[in-house]
Structure 1
């Protein structure tokens, strides 16, 4: 069989595709929104049942649109944000909302762990630093603030691990969830009891680790009834969304960089050598033998959506009257302003920030406002803020000894021509768009094809996408954006100085 399904359990939406492997063609796609909740400052939570409900609606839709019978699907691959933390009791009930990758509530727990162990020793073993990404910090938070929940924990895993379990009844954690969670000894490539114990968990609470293309189980009768899939269809381990997206984009060689403009903003680079650094995350590449150091910001498209909902309701209504999305309409307005947004600077640390500063207490900051400014300047400043944040990541990669020479852009935010030109100018590098790249679900689908034997070509996924427009940097804007970047870095330093 040559058809596979890829499912993306994303931050802002659930997406599904049907892929014809032999023709490298996406036959159908469907999406449903996901509600990201922040009930308290720095929190980011979602309801795992909403992911499942979305999936049960999406699968019948993409099967019908593709014209493919469910029995012709060779395998299912899943992907999702990393490391979402899902807690189940011994009966399989979800104990609380998922704590998302962008959550910033665990500053005290991170400091507690850092006081107990040497960070240099931890990095050498676990491949990542002691930061808010560690699942151990989240479990300790639950233990401290929700002891009745902690007492009932029987299983801990990630978003797409949860979906795999709902599909197959088998409990497993994909390798990159386990690695970024802080539970893998990279020197041995295995789960380590003592690292799991940092979360005050028993070893049996973390399911066994699997690789992306490993078959974890098959669709159960109940899952088939709810989703419309064929009972017995294989399901593979899946992949982290940012890794799946970069892989599908063709990030395979040294110097290849993907800027991923999703609900959170990500940046990835490929390497054949593990290079642990406390400022960045280290993940396995999907291709065996490779690694993918990467950075992930707590927000991205989610912050743009927040801005529209809170400050641009009038513009959103006007956009609808013109047949545009709110983002497109605001881009049109902001394009009438120049680089630097007439002095307005937006530091987008709205949920704290992950890489490269790892500061859950950082906050969003707007500087330079005057009575002559309006929504145009604020929107452009927000887009420029993420360009500066990407530039910060690239500086760190280069300091780590990683080359960054070829830049690709993917996911929903890359449709903004204004944002792409801002990034090209602020980074002073050409940025090439990808076309026909539906996002992380494509990488998940190709992993399913590899795991099921529908193909044996890891590099074949590149045939599913093509290159689009290239945005060239304007050298005349270099000095202005250099100054803006310096101001961006100084704004955070000033904020931290004021809070200490």
Structure 2
């Protein structure tokens, strides 16, 4: 009897494989980490082989925990970090390490695209701004700096597409990843000839676009040996981690949004109109008839990890145990500090910033330090500053027409009750925690159920399976206090914008070796 669904997520730091029953109950989790290379300033690369080996280890861990899991499995789908530039040759071999979403080396190429087509035209065509987060500028960088590799490129795959290719030998591309490339005509779904020409690309280098729940192939005998899966197991197209997280959180209709905090923070706001805004990101949802307006901050959990690794004291190190993660370790210290962090405001731009600033040159700032500032105040300032960055995205989305009545919080950051309460108080809306469902792999598993014909639609399955465990209601007095501090946060960010750019010129940020 086949009664198990496998959801896989390939994130920025780790791959996770999670087994679920048909009614959404979690059965087993496997996880494996991999490194991130930063060979020069603004560069962020990963080895596709590292992804594959981590996925293999994670799948084997999950299968081992459940009797006869491989034989009971209906199929699998993969969600992943996005977007990624990964060129493959005719034999399916990567030609270079992948440029992941964090990579900002192509800022000069963004300006070239704007000069060639106009920023307004690019936004009108693609529904998104010209920025090196999207792949168009990275493709142009690839054309200009590694033309010898572009000449050998047979196809480009995204992270989930590469893992699916290793599993099945079939190339695939989902609609959300296609939108994040910044090459697609949003109105027609066809690749823009002008943008392709500017990047030296052929549309044949991209796989056909298929819905996230579509069966693209079966696990091969070779992949079965590597993973422990049964040969012939169905593999669905999958999607990005954001759409999968929206399913996990139950963010499937306007008014209920999701925020996913791990290394970064991603805000996901469903809407039926296909709202676009040049300060945000717009993609199709995996739920038919719905779209997602996305806000994305670069460093949230990463800011806490930076603090632990760089400024963590001996007391912090002594309190560390294998069963406690960075969120537990640091946020419990921040609980003794009153809202406002003793006058310290944190700008969380440790690796530049995405929406709504879109400023590679932005840098992290602690404002308001005195000789009396305790370490715990810095930690709380990080929690508050990242929450202010979330509010900046929410306000931008609301101004564009998106609705928000309740925010669902998922990811590693949702483990901190203090952080969730700060977000509720900063935003002035309830922050709800869905019952633990295994993260983005839960959303990927729902795509398997839909593709296998086991459920009529995603919305009904989400309504039946997503349960709210806890709700953090906003405190009116703290919201008013935070609103005053938020106004200061916004002013600091705006006033420092020119200084960030000037500092980049003074200290040098040219990414090319």
Question: Partner of 1:419 in structure 2?
Answer: 419
Pair 1:204 & 2:204 matched: yes
1:74-473 superposed matches below 5 A: 74-312=74-312, 314-320=314-320, 324-459=324-459, 460-473=461-474
CA displacement at 1:211 relative to structure 2? 1.2
Contact 1:132 1:354 in 2 (8 A): no
Question: Counterparts of 2:315 and 2:447 in 1: how far apart (Å)?
Answer: 41
CA displacement at 1:322 relative to structure 2? 9.9
Question: Counterparts of 2:482 and 2:360 in 1: how far apart (Å)?
Answer: 27
CA displacement at 1:236 relative to structure 2? 0.8
Contact 1:136 1:200 in 2 (8 A): no
Contact 2:327 2:413 in 1 (8 A): no
CA deviation string 1:187-229 (max 9, x = no partner) = 1123344333332212222221111111111111111111111
CA displacement at 1:420 relative to structure 2? 0.9
Go from structure 1 to structure 2 and tell me whether the alpha carbon gap of 1:322 and 1:13 turns closer, same or farther (over 3 Å shift).
closer
CA deviation string 1:154-209 (max 9, x = no partner) = 22121111111111111121111111111222211233443333322122222211
CA deviation string 1:255-281 (max 9, x = no partner) = 111111122201011111111211111
Go from structure 1 to structure 2 and tell me whether the alpha carbon gap of 1:152 and 1:298 turns closer, same or farther (over 3 Å shift).
farther
Go from structure 1 to structure 2 and tell me whether the alpha carbon gap of 1:25 and 1:324 turns closer, same or farther (over 3 Å shift).
closer
Query: Residue 308 of structure 2 aligns to a residue in which SS?
Result: helix
CA displacement at 1:241 relative to structure 2? 0.3
Bigger shift: residues 344-353 or 368-377: 368-377
Question: Counterparts of 2:325 and 2:402 in 1: how far apart (Å)?
Answer: 38
Could you tell me which runs of 5 or more consecutive residues in structure 1 were left unpaired when the two chains were aligned: none
Pair 1:479 & 2:480 matched: yes
TM-score (norm 1): 0.95
CA displacement at 1:399 relative to structure 2? 0.8
Query: Residue 65 of structure 2 aligns to a residue in which SS?
Result: helix
Question: Partner of 1:11 in structure 2?
Answer: 12
Q: How many residues align?
A: 499
Could you tell me which runs of 5 or more consecutive residues in structure 2 were left unpaired when the two chains were aligned: 503-513
Q: CA RMSD in A?
A: 1.8
Bigger shift: residues 390-399 or 122-131: 122-131
1:46-61 superposed matches below 5 A: 46-61=46-61
Contact 2:297 2:390 in 1 (8 A): no
Contact 2:31 2:61 in 1 (8 A): no
CA deviation string 1:279-338 (max 9, x = no partner) = 111111111221111111222223322221222163442222696434313212111111
Go from structure 1 to structure 2 and tell me whether the alpha carbon gap of 1:302 and 1:155 turns closer, same or farther (over 3 Å shift).
farther
1:15-34 superposed matches below 5 A: 15-21=16-22, 23-34=23-34
Bigger shift: residues 1-10 or 113-122: 113-122
Question: Counterparts of 2:350 and 2:237 in 1: how far apart (Å)?
Answer: 32
Question: Counterparts of 1:463 and 1:308 in 2: how far apart (Å)?
Answer: 39
